[in-house]
Structure formats: structure tokens, C-alpha cells
Amino acid sequence: MTNNPFDLSGKVAIVTGANTGIGQGIAVALAQAGADIALVTRSDASETIGLIEQAGRRALVIEADLSSTEPCNRIVSETVNVLGRLDVLVNNAGIIRRNDALDFTEDDWDAVLDTNLKVLFFLSQAAARQMIGQGGGSIINIASMLTFQGGIRVASYTASKSGVGGLTKLLTNEWASKNVTVNAIAPGYIATNNTAALQADEDRNRQILERIPAQRWGEPSDLGGAAVFLASDAARYVQGHILAVDGGWLAR
């Protein structure tokens, strides 16, 4: 035990999409702060497992396809069966599809809304049932700049991430009194697979960099401190907040 309110020792966190990108950055930061991690992944996660174990924490791999709600209850029960409890859920897994609004297909709408919003809600529900039974917990949703802005050519992504902002507040209204904190992190422009097309497009890359006060793309590790804070006892009265980690993008 320690008096450090940011210490996550003894806590267990589920991180979805923890094999790569922002999910990996957050999973490793939570482990370095003391948490054991259940990584939900559909791909090889050996790199993340290695980094969690290097931090001296346990890593449990839960294979699941988050395009449907089917695995939600199993993700929570496997975590509790193997790691003993559940204190933190990070809803990170997400996808993006790009097309003009005039040509946008129903498939590109449904795929993004299902993973980014519907599964986020039902996994939160499964996690909160466990957390409330245990006395509390923390849910951290990964939002976006498009929780605040409109974006362009990403209709279903904007709808999903705007929805993530709304659900973060709704769930706070329902669960704050039950000791479950629900907050979101809104990453700015972070160098991951999700943004590979933007980074490769010389014009878009220049326009993006010109607007970021920090004058650089974010790295997945830049999200770690915000996640540790929101997962920790230090944030117990932080509720329904959407914390931008964006190098100053929204300040422009």
C-alpha cells in the first residue's frame, strides 16, 4: 500500500485493442502504475504482453472480435476468473471509414457505429455490473477531436465519437452515485495505424502540423498519464469529463 493517489497497485484493468497504437500506450502506462491488464485483442499482442511483463505486472490475453456485442460478458467474466477483480475498463478499440457523405455506404455506417459505440456501451454495462458489485470502478472511453468537431468524409466516425461524448455523460449521471466514474480521453492527432493515411498525405500532414501548437504528432505514450490519472483514486471526483490530450489542437 502507498499514499500515492495515482498508484494503481492491486487494480485490474481491461484495455480493448491493446495490441497496438493508443491501446498499447495506455495498457503499458497502467501496468507501469501498478495495474494488472486484461488485453482484449483480435491480433497478435505479444509486444504489449512483453512490455506489461517488463513492468512486473500480469497480462491476460482475451481474444475477441469487438464488431459485435457477443463477447462482452465473457470479457468481464474471464478477467475476473483469472485476475480476480475488475477496477478499470478502457474502451479503446475503434475503426474509421472514409468516404464523401454523398457516397457513404450503410456498411461503412454500421461497422463503425457497432464497434465504436454499440460495443462500447454494452461492454461498459457488463463491466459496471461487476464494478458495482465490488464497490466501484473507473471507465475510460476513448473519444476524439470529432467528439467536438465535425470532421470531413468520416460521417459514421463523427457520429460514433460524438455519441461517445454523450454516453460518457449519461453513464456518469446513472453510475456516479454507485462509485463508478465514467470519463473520456479525446486524443488529438496521434501517430498510429488509424492515422497512417493522413500521415502519408503530404498536404493533409502539413495542414495538421500547422494547426497543432505543440508542432508534432502525438505518440501513443502521450495518452498514458491521462489514463493513469482517470483510472486512479486521484480522479474519484472527476466525473463525465472529456479530457483532450491534443498538443493544444482545440485551443486554436
* Catalytic center residues: 157
Give min distance, CB of 179 to ligand NAP, in A.
Answer: 26
Near ligand NAP by CB under 6 A: residue from 5, 10, 53, 65: 65
| 13 contacts ligand NAP (rule: CB under 6 A) | no
Contact (Cβ atoms closer than 8 angstroms) between residue 138 and residue 175? no
| 195 contacts ligand NAP (rule: CB under 6 A) | yes
| 92 contacts ligand NAP (rule: CB under 6 A) | yes
Place of cell 460478458: 73
Near ligand NAP by CB under 6 A: residue from 6, 7, 32, 42: 42
Rounded to an integer, what distance in angstroms lies between the CA atom of residue 242 and that of residue 187? 10
| 193 contacts ligand NAP (rule: CB under 6 A) | yes
How far apart, in Å, do the first and last CA atoms of the chain sit? 42
Rounded to an integer, what distance in angstroms lies between the CA atom of residue 162 and that of residue 145? 9
Give min distance, CB of 178 to ligand NAP, in A.
Answer: 26
Residue closer to ligand NAP by CB (options 44, 233) is 44
Give min distance, CB of 248 to ligand NAP, in A.
Answer: 15
| 23 contacts ligand NAP (rule: CB under 6 A) | yes
Rounded to an integer, what distance in angstroms lies between the CA atom of residue 190 and that of residue 199? 10
Rounded to an integer, what distance in angstroms lies between the CA atom of residue 160 and that of residue 67? 14
Give min distance, CB of 22 to ligand NAP, in A.
Answer: 4
Q: Site residues for ligand NAP, window 112-131 (CB under 6 A)? A: 115
| 165 contacts ligand NAP (rule: CB under 6 A) | no
Contact (Cβ atoms closer than 8 angstroms) between residue 14 and residue 59? no
Give min distance, CB of 20 to ligand NAP, in A.
Answer: 5
β-strand partners of 36: 12
Question: Of the ranges 51-59, 91-99, 124-132, 173-181, which one interacts with ligand NAP (CB under 6 A)?
Answer: 91-99
Question: Of the ranges 5-13, 29-37, 89-97, 125-133, which one interacts with ligand NAP (CB under 6 A)?
Answer: 89-97
| 190 contacts ligand NAP (rule: CB under 6 A) | yes
Q: How many residues bind ligand NAP (CB under 6 A)?
A: 25
Query: Rounded to whole angstroms, what are the CA distances from 215 to 111, 203, 206, 211, 248?
Result: 33, 15, 10, 8, 9
Strand arrangement of the beta sheet that strand 12-16 belongs to = 59-63, 36-41, 12-16, 88-91, 137-142, 180-187, 242-245
What angle, 0 to 180 degrees and rounded to 10, lies between the N-to-C axes of helices 21-32 and 224-231?
50
Residues of the shown chain interacting with ligand NAP in the complex, contacts defined by CB under 6 A:
17, 19-23, 42-43, 65-67, 92-95, 115, 142, 144, 187, 189-190, 192-195
